[in-house]
Amino acid sequence: MKIKIKCPSIIKGEIEISGSKNACLPIIAASLLSKEEITLYNVPLITDVISMIRILDDLGVSVNYNYVESKLVIRANRIKKDLDSCFVSKLRASYYLISPLIHRKNNFATLYPGGCNFGKRPIDFHLKLYKQMGLDITEKEKIYFKKRKLRPINYTFSTVTVGGTINAILSTVLIKGKTTLSNIAIEPEVIDVIHFLQSMGAKIQFIDKRSIVIEGVKELHKTTYSIMPDRIEAGSYMFLAMAKPNSQIKINKVNVSHLENVIEVINKLGGEITIINDSMEIKSPENIKNINISTGPYPYFPTDLQPILSTVLLNGNDTSKINETIYPSRNSHIKELSKMKASIEMNQGLITINPSPLISGMVQANDLRCGFAMIVAGVISGKQIIINQAEYIFRGYDDIMGKLCKIGIKCKKE
Ligand code: EPU
């Protein structure tokens, strides 16, 4: 699918942020830990969520999505054995379904998870954890799991991992005894998953900033839960506002405390932010200042906003540098920006961005965040651009066309 973006001379308007993709996907998977009915609100209408729903459907789980109310009702009183739906290998987050299956089945198989491709994305920590808690694992064309007696674990992550932390929590909440996990990820999405599990009766407690103790419970019960706002979606629009001088947008339904790292960067760029409860007004300056910054695990600047910030910095008044520490090969936007005559390069994770006027043209959304970065690039160019493979953008940005239109950016499917 192609989309055509045409930009006005100024960005102005008001939008609402949807529920978080990266919190919603593991929470949907975690719903299968209970046989009772789970009701979720603020579920975004994005294709990654639709793919997850299709996997649940293929597993024989009852699932009902009312997208008008952003409400998803799940009841997993029965569940089929294997994760062999074709959507499993399209979605990174499909690996969160392994954890409930461990509790519901004695042996099962799964296809390998998919997801955006920015270099190696191993799942070795996940498998190591499962082995420690009592599973035999065989990796062939699929991954085969065989359950022995499950036991609690004491595990310290050598690298901070969002998915590893969430899977460790999901797989141990029902194991009798005390599990201790250290050096865990504390991204707001991880905390949202913990709050959701606690609302189902899970016993999870922080013992220091990056360590938790999980006291296994016998079963988890029904709950109604509202997914946190998507901080990466909010950050994406905050940076989009910075792509045109003297623009002003209002972003509603955000959790401001999750966005401190982004607010700090916007201020350094010369932008102005006014916060009123769960709304934010962003005003862009006449000239963007250059910055030097590193991505890192929360509370540091998120890797998911790196491609978008890199693009905004093409408008900077001098050379900027971003050190990408999470995915040193997350560079799919750089090739595309070069097609628009951007002076930007990445060397062993270090991105150097020189101020560059961009020309219009045809680019490609190589993955989700690269796709949004191309929208920003189109806005900077001030002309019209065509983005190929735009389906990637729909994987994670709810109502992208409607929201762009609300802030004055014309967007048409070709
Ligand atoms: N890692 C390993 N082994 C593992 C797991 C991770 O070496 O078993 C490494 C990764 O290669 C990476 C680092 O640990 O260098 C951190 O990766 P992490 O596990 O935190 O990433 P993830 O859980 O696979 C989630 C988000 C990503 C986001 C990263 C980092 C979801 C579904 N995905 O991925 O989101 O970039 O955390 O914050 O939650 C996106 O939304 O565009 C996106 C890619």
Nearest residue to 255 (alpha-carbon basis) of 271, 233, 288: 233
Q: Whose CA is nearest to atom 8 of ligand 1?
A: 123
Give the ligand 1 atom nearest the CA of 189. 39
Give the ligand 1 atom nearest the CA of 118. 44
Omega within 30 of 0 (cis) for the link into 299: yes
CA 383 to ligand 1 centroid distance, Å: 34
Q: Which residues are catalytic?
A: 116
CA dihedral 374, 378, 381, 386 (to 10 degrees): 100
With a cut of 80, say whether residue 149 has pLDDT above it. Answer: yes
Question: Residues 171, 99: contact at Cβ < 8 Å?
Answer: yes
Q: What is the secondary structure of 205-240 as a DSSP string? A: EEEETTEEEEE--S----EEEEPPB-HHHHHHHHHH
Give the ligand 1 atom nearest the CA of 163. 23
**Strand, helix or coil for residue 92:** helix
Cβ–ligand 1 distance for 124 under 6 Å, the answer yes
Cβ–ligand 1 distance for 326 under 6 Å, the answer yes
Q: What is the pLDDT of residues 272-314, one digit of tens each?
A: 999 999 999 999 999 999 999 999 999 999 999 999 999 999 9
Res. 114 pLDDT band, cuts 50 70 90: confident
Q: Which residue has the tokens 């997350």?
A: 330
Nearest residue to 396 (alpha-carbon basis) of 304, 320, 311: 304
Question: Residues 387, 363: contact at Cβ < 8 Å?
Answer: yes
Question: Residues 345, 351: contact at Cβ < 8 Å?
Answer: yes
Cβ–ligand 1 distance for 394 under 6 Å, the answer no
CA 162 to ligand 1 centroid distance, Å: 6
Average per-residue pLDDT for the chain: 95
Phi then psi for residue 150, to 5 deg, are: -75, 140
pLDDT score of 329:
92
Question: Which pTM does this prediction carry?
Answer: 0.97
Residue 146: C-alpha distances to residues 79, 163, 245 (Å): 17, 21, 58
Q: Whose CA is nearest to atom 37 of ligand 1?
A: 162
CA 163 to ligand 1 centroid distance, Å: 6
Q: What is the pLDDT of residues 11-33, one digit of tens each?
A: 999 999 999 999 999 999 999 99
Cβ–ligand 1 distance for 369 under 6 Å, the answer yes
